[in-house]
Amino acid sequence: MKTAEIAQRYLDYFEKNGHTIVPSASLVTDDPALLFTVAGMVPFIPYLSGDVPAPYPRAADNQKCIRTNDIEEVGKTPRHGTFFQMLGNWSFGDYFKEGAIRYAWELLTTSEADGGLGFDPKDLWVTVYEEDDEAHDLWRRLTDLPEERIQRLGKDTNYWSTGLPGPAGPCSEIFFDRGPAYGIDGGPATDDDRYVEIWNLVFMQYEITDVKSKYDFTIVGELPNKNIDTGMGLERIAFIKQGVDNMYETDQVRPVLDAAVRLSGKTYGADHDDDVRFRVVADHVRSSLMLLSDGVTPSNDGRGYILRRLMRRAIRSMRLLGVDGPTFATLFAASRDAMKDAYPVVADEYERLSAYALAEEATFLRTLAAGSENLDASIAAAKDAGATQIGGAEAFLLHDTYGFPIDLTLEIVEEAGLSVDRDAFDTLMQEQRARAKADARSRKRQLADTSVYRDFRAQGETIFTGYSDLETESTVLGLLVDGLPAQRATTGQIAEVILAETALYAESGGQVADKGMIVGPGFELEVLDVQKPVPGLVSHTVEVTSGEVGVGQPATSVVDAANRRAAQQAHSATHLVHAALRDTLGKSATQAGSLNRAGYMRFDFAWGQTLSEATKTEIEEIANNAVRDNLQVTTRVLPLDEAKALGAMALFGEKYGETVRMVDIGGPWSRELCAGTHVSSSAEVGLINLVGESSVGASTRRVEALVGFDAFRELAAERAIVSQLTSSLKTPKDQLPARIAELAASLKAAEKRIAQFEAKALESRLPELAATAQAVGPFRVVAQSLGTAASADDVRSLALQVRARVGAGAVVALGAQVGERPVVIVATDDVARGGGARAGALAKTAAAVLGGGGGGRDDVAQGGGTDAAALPAALDALTRALETATA
């Protein structure tokens, strides 16, 4: 049974049983405590907690998920995958334990011919929470499971919570017994891979607080409604129904594994370690493709870092399989073909998605090459010193700074006949992980408990009137002071105000929040921020500037009209620039993020190379031509499918409801899904002045522009600068570029002549410096400060010349101030090195006195620091080090 067929049978069954079928949410969640949708329940948290009224009493879905907390287990077990699909059925105050158990058992054990999944009851086991007698008795009454196949387990396995304050409850898990060939007898309690968990039924009935860990919390009481949250792993069902040993061999994953086998020339099933690598490649490539399809791009932090890590682990695994060159063109195409029937976007957007993947691969292959050079140097230094291993700190630096995988380091070092101080490396890794966990815990502690908004949201959605009105009369529904509900707020306090209606725009879609006031009888509130803490609810963060505001009072939201007008200009300009980019670069230049505020817009888009000046000028001209043409701006609210059929652009990673707001500028020329505020015609934008273009990733560029009066002010400032230059240089403005280039060339030539003069001046001191050589034990030492020098290279050249003139046993240390910083160059000859004088160690000694660092080869090395006045002391310290070495 194909994976897609299993999913369809599941959805068909629950639709037949009165469930609303909900499409999968994005892998990118708007939950501030999470980077990704890590479980099927994440999109439903507001309904399960009661913060937002559920739009349906019961639902079912197939939710895309990403989870990387067990990433080290990928490929080693039959069931661990970073991307997975979770089939779920949900009840929001409708049916409870009996309904959930009845539905699960019926679907699992009904024959395939009758639309079920066709599991034999004798292969199924069930676990329940040890104190949940009700669930135990229901399993006995509703099914033919014998007592010995219903196991009671503790809170660590059969009690569910997010680890944060909110909903929780006991759960019941259903397991499939793969048979004695896969492990020991004893059921799920053995925690053996023989028993595969396929379905978890969570009976969400309690609210918890004071959460110290997953198992240590306080139950406050029962939730307003008892809910059902279930999750059935689609990949786990697939590998069982397809008769394969693990999820990596199912129809949606195996094609990538097979492609990796062909590229490597190795055989799958012949070697355990290689098999794990093949599975890692198959899993990580699919996960990367799905993350890219939901708008995530590789970067060094947050979601982008997770994606980058997955890609680099796949590249590393292919390298360990013997493939050093690029492989993503083949692997990602194989994943696309395997996933496109279930997720058409991976085929429709493949040109864009693969561009990111191929760019990331090329970057990391260069990183591996650079890391290999650093590692080779560490190996050579270890061998020269007679060491048998390289330090853990060096291995960690390669891993942490250069992204060089530790197992690749171990492999290369082992081939060189050395080892790595793995204990030291592991200690540094543990310290880094501890810091990351502490940061994550801190972030969770700082999150507001959204349950405080529950009662406000239960009164309905906040009505936004700001598309047409800049003032709206309403009522204060609620107040929060210091994050807690309050009846009033007085002068000087910061509070959150919930209104039934508001004209103030809440930050979203790249557009920053409105500025403005909230006024009422006897009070004035300055609006500091406007946000949507839970879907459908607008919260205004305010400072009470006068009077006292209370719950139930009338209040009028007043938008700062000038700021709103400028923000609208910027947002509409963003749409114009997007359309101009697509006109100029093609349809693959899709949006990857934006920011709009009064007078300024920033737009990120998929593109892999710097824009030429001519291209930037063309984009700017197209956008301003659209302003000149005074194109009509229209908005429509319509079904999502209809908007997409009309060609409306949707931002990847954004969530859209069944109905959407579509913004047209000039008809289909610019047609995007957008909830922001806009001008009524393009001429109102005024002027768009592109002021910046830069890279924000391997395949993402950013353009920045000033808009409206801010754009005019920038151009006026530039005009003033040009006027000043024409006056100072007595050159017409059209000849300024040539004149400035001429002056720059003259300056460069003068600097070159000065540098030559200073170098000759230094060289003229050669006999004088050589004559200062003093005997220190077996060494002839020159340790002199030169004053100032044009460059460290000049000092290095002179040190080498002095070394040649001094003769056998020469140790030359010359110090100079180069610019604002001191530098010391140390040069030794063969005889001196034979006596133990190594330039690198001596340079470090001097640099320590200068407040910096240094090092290098044994024959020539350099040190530096920040304290130029300490140069004489640094040279004295170097000389004393030689005296100590010869004592």
The Cβ of residue 696 has, within 10 Å, a number of other Cβ atoms equal to 16
The Cβ of residue 851 has, within 10 Å, a number of other Cβ atoms equal to 14
Backbone angles phi, psi at 253, to 5 degrees: -120, -35
Do 579 and 587 meet the contact criterion of CB atoms below 8 Å apart?
Answer: no
Q: Could you give the angle at which helices 392-402 and 422-446 cross, rounded to 10 degrees?
A: 40
Do 187 and 195 meet the contact criterion of CB atoms below 8 Å apart?
Answer: yes
CB proximity list for 851: less than 8 A, separation 6 or greater: 865, 866, 867, 870
Q: Is 272 annotated as a binding residue?
A: no
The single-letter DSSP state of residue 206 is E
Distance CA 832, CA 829 (A): 5
DSSP readout, 569-618?
HHHHHHHHHHHHHHHHH-TT--EEEEEEETTEEEEEEE-SSPPPHHHHHH
Q: Is 136 annotated as a binding residue?
A: no
Report strand pairing: 821-828 vs 810-818. Answer: antiparallel
Distance CA 826, CA 85 (A): 62
| Residue 841: both structure tokens together | 């160690």
DSSP readout, 30-75?
--TT-SB--STTGGGHHHHTTSS--SSSEEEEEEEEE--TTGGGTT
Q: Is 674 annotated as a binding residue?
A: yes
Distance CA 688, CA 711 (A): 6
Using H for helix, E for strand and C for coil, what is the string for 387-426?
A: CCEECHHHHHHHHHHHCCCHHHHHHHHHHCCCEECHHHHH
Distance CA 165, CA 184 (A): 38
CB proximity list for 823: less than 8 A, separation 6 or greater: 789, 792, 795, 815, 816, 817, 862, 863, 864
Burial (CB count <10 Å: 0-12, 13-18, 19+), residue 285: buried
Q: Is 171 annotated as a binding residue?
A: no
Do 220 and 209 meet the contact criterion of CB atoms below 8 Å apart?
Answer: yes
Residue with the two structure tokens 């505001």 = 549
Distance CA 497, CA 520 (A): 13
> Torsion angle of alpha carbons 306, 312, 318, 322, nearest 10°?
-150
Do 230 and 200 meet the contact criterion of CB atoms below 8 Å apart?
Answer: yes
| Residue 770: both structure tokens together | 């050589």
Distance CA 475, CA 279 (A): 58
Distance CA 283, CA 81 (A): 6
Q: Which segments are annotated as binding site?
A: 571, 575, 674, 678
Positions at the binding site for Zn(2+): 571, 575, 674, 678
